Structure 1
Amino acid sequence: MAGKNNTRILMQFALLAIVLTAAIMVKEATCIPICNIDTNDLEKCRPAVTGNKPPRPGPDCCAVARSANLQCLCPYKPYLSSFGINPSRVRPLLAQCGINSIPSCF
């Protein structure tokens, strides 16, 4: 019976490894480049654009903001909330990152 249990545990472990690998592949495949930003990189800025008192953006977030084509993002502003971004917090984030040429849409 011990052999049967070991085989069962190995099969469960193998299944878990397959599921985790598939999840990683799906996450990488769902990264969509928009206006010089990969949508997965927006996660780096999420803390600075959510909540009542968001923290200052970190260096990784500011790097994402600096690489973005901000004018290109203007038509997407209504959809930012679907990525967990409060659109009214974008302008302060950009200013805190030292970005001076902020499009009027933000």
Structure 2
Amino acid sequence: MTMMMVVIGKLSKMMVVVAVALLALAGGLKSVELCDMNEEGVMACKPSVTEPNPVDPSPECCQALSAANLTCLCDYKNSLLLPSLGIDPQLAMALPAKCNLTPPPNC
């Protein structure tokens, strides 16, 4: 893959993330689906990834996470989307291990 293709791919992904974040902030996003996790799954995990007092993930959270695309979730660890949803990226990246799931390499 050429460097130009990599840059275009990253810019495209960033534009999508910014658009989703803006919709969420503007209240135009009625439901959230993130990397094969529906709104119910995201909300089940939110207490575990929200500061200041995160809790251990619930069985519902771990079940939702087990069906999620973990590689896709890793792509968001440095994005603005997770913080815009009130999710701490470091706590989110620790969830797979807390749910006894194997995170993707280099995540």
In structure 1, what is the Cα distance between the partners aligned to 2:104 and 2:59?
A: 18
Tell me the amino acid that sits aligned with residue 104 of structure 1: N
The structure having more radius of gyration, on CA atoms, is 1
Q: Percent identity?
A: 36
What is the CA deviation profile of residues 62-90 of structure 1, one whole-angstrom value per residue up to 9, with x for unaligned ones?
A: 01111110112233331111221100102
Residue 45 of structure 1 contacts residue 57 of structure 1 at CA under 8 Å; is this kept in 2?
yes
> TM-score, normalised on structure 2?
0.60
In structure 2, stretches of 5+ residues that fail to align are 1-28
CA root-mean-square deviation = 2.3
Alignment-derived partner of residue 44 in structure 2: 44
Q: Aligned pair count?
A: 78
Cα distance, 1:40 vs structure 2? 4.3
Tell me the amino acid that sits aligned with residue 58 of structure 1: S
The ranges of structure 1 where at least 4 consecutive aligned residues each deviate by more than 6 angstroms after the TM superposition are none
> TM-score, normalised on structure 1?
0.60
Alignment-derived partner of residue 15 in structure 2: none
